[in-house]
Structure 1
Amino acid sequence: MVVKPLGNRVLVKVKETEEKTKGGIYIPQTAQEKTQTGVVVAVGTDESIKVKVGDQVLYDKYAGTQIKIDDVEHLVLSADDILAIIE
């Protein structure tokens, strides 16, 4: 499935959370914190968007709409919900 965001929307592939702590303890999915980082997969048509495909970004914790594309978690969010580019 191909998803093309419109306007100032951005499609971000959510970074998977670690299931195991540094000490070797496994954390169940229900107890894990929601991740706030991901990789930009597609950008909308608005020219004011400051990110590009491939950028690793930090976004607002409760922003966007979750979707699954080929069994992989993605978020469609407003470019305004992106807080920073991680270099």
Structure 2
Amino acid sequence: MATSIRSIKSLVPLLDRVLVQRIKAETKTAGGIFLPESSVKELNEAKVLAVGPGALSKDGERVPMGVAQGDRVLIPQFGGSPVKVGEDEYHLFRDSEILAKINE
């Protein structure tokens, strides 16, 4: 079940959590043809909107996060905690669940 909040800016991830929004697949081809919704698949690519400060190690030291705000990342097809704000849907993942960072 998705959690509903009013503003995404009021959501601050804790510890090693990462707040992401999936990048929507193109619904129009380069030639200008619109694709039906049934043929457009959900991408595993997302944009990082916010990151927590990092988890604590056994020694009590902060473990640095692998991603930063603004990064493009590859996320798993399933998992994460959905967060709904209005019509938009976001996901919270642990830093260790992020599959890869996409460098441009």
C-alpha deviations, 1:2-36, integer Å up to 9, x for none? Answer: 11111111000210122234565544435532221
Richer in strand (by share): 1
1:17 and 2:61 equivalent?
Answer: no
Match for residue 87 of structure 2?
71
Q: Which amino acid aligns with 2:14?
A: L
What root-mean-square deviation, in Å, do the aligned CA atoms of Structure 1 and Structure 2 show? 1.9
Q: 1:55 aligns with which of 55, 71, 79?
A: 71
- Is the contact between residue 24 and residue 42 of structure 2 (CA under 8 Å) also seen in structure 1? no
5+ residue gaps, structure 2: 1-6, 55-62
Q: Where does the alignment leave 5 or more consecutive residues of structure 1 unmatched?
A: none
**How many residues were matched structurally?**
87
Q: Distance in 1 between matches of 2:30 and 2:68?
A: 32
Tell me the TM-score normalized by structure 1: 0.80
1:29-44 matches, within 5 Å, as 29-44=37-52
Measure, in 1, the Cα distance between the counterparts of 2:87 and 2:14. 22
Query: Counterpart amino acid of 1:12?
Result: V
Q: Percent identity?
A: 33
